Amino acid sequence: MRYRQLGKTGWQVSAVSMGCWGIGGQWGPVAEDEAIRTIHAAIDLGVNLFDTADSYGQGISEELVGRALRGHRQNVFVATKVGNFARRAGHPLSYLTPEHVYLCCDASLGRLKIDAIDLYQCHIGTLEDPSVFLEAFDRLIERGKIRHYAISTNSVDVLRRFNRDGRCASCQINYSILNPGAANDIFPYCLENGIGTLIRGPIAQGVLAGKFTENTTFDDQVRAGWNQGEGRERFLRQLRQVERLRFLERPDRSMAQAALQFVLAHPAVTAAIPGAKNVGQIRANARAADGELGESELARIRDVIAS
């Protein structure tokens, strides 16, 4: 495993870390014991950052992360997010007052069974006015409940507003071969301002694993919209792009691993946080950190993206 500094935190985090949305159940059922085995396997492989959110499975993901990290807390960094709790259920909080953030923070600490959250991230990527979150995060740092704060967004304008005091430690960004737009604006801003990056969606919600076909349908909460209409058309377009990327497959490297290596090749990227629902997936993800794409492969990928 390779390690990189996460922005202003000074922490050395694993280049491939673990996204924990999948174990919350919204991508299909995951047995509790399998989720915990997966996190333990990640630790054994050198993964030292685990990213979750209070909204993942309405707290289930945080609970499982908390159980799995008992006895390992001193060796890992815990990142979670606030701002979307109960939104998928149609009952979001307004977040018009810092008290909502304090409430959610205390609830996350309880589920995670920890005294302080290492990286607390605003989960509202379209945030117009960050004042409530910034006030809350400052107070939470003073109270010792969080160590650093960040935001999850692909909007450079949102990030600029959120970083108005220059204290945003990192930004969680959706970036992949199939979604490369961040390289045009938000990545340069992060580099210029010493902001670390955690990359979500590096395998494009599974599409870049190269295992789906035009007949694949989805029954999980997240990808159900891919079964018809514009969502289906977009999915089929992505499949055609994936077919043009088959040159990345080798006996010693899967499509998914190549997709992770593409993400890690960008100088603004601190860590990729692909999800994993079982031990086999986390082992394959972690191995991607041990290799890299060649310049000719990166050039061919850029040609596919541009066409």
Distance between CA 178 and CA 186 in Å, rounded? 17
The encoded tokens of residue 211 equal 């295992």
The encoded tokens of residue 126 equal 């379209």
Instruction: Find all residues with CB under 8 Å of 89, minimum gap 6, and list them.
Output: 58
Long-range contacts of 231-234 (CB under 8 A, 24+ apart): none
Got the DSSP string for 274-307?
-B-SSHHHHHHHHHGGG----HHHHHHHHHHHH-
User: Is 8 within 8 Å of 195 (Cβ atoms)?
Assistant: yes
Residue 120 is a catalytic residue: no
Query: Which of 56, 95, 149, 175 is labelled catalytic?
Result: 56
The encoded tokens of residue 140 equal 């939470």
Distance between CA 247 and CA 258 in Å, rounded? 10
Closest CA to 134 of 109, 166, 178: 166
- Residues designated catalytic: 56
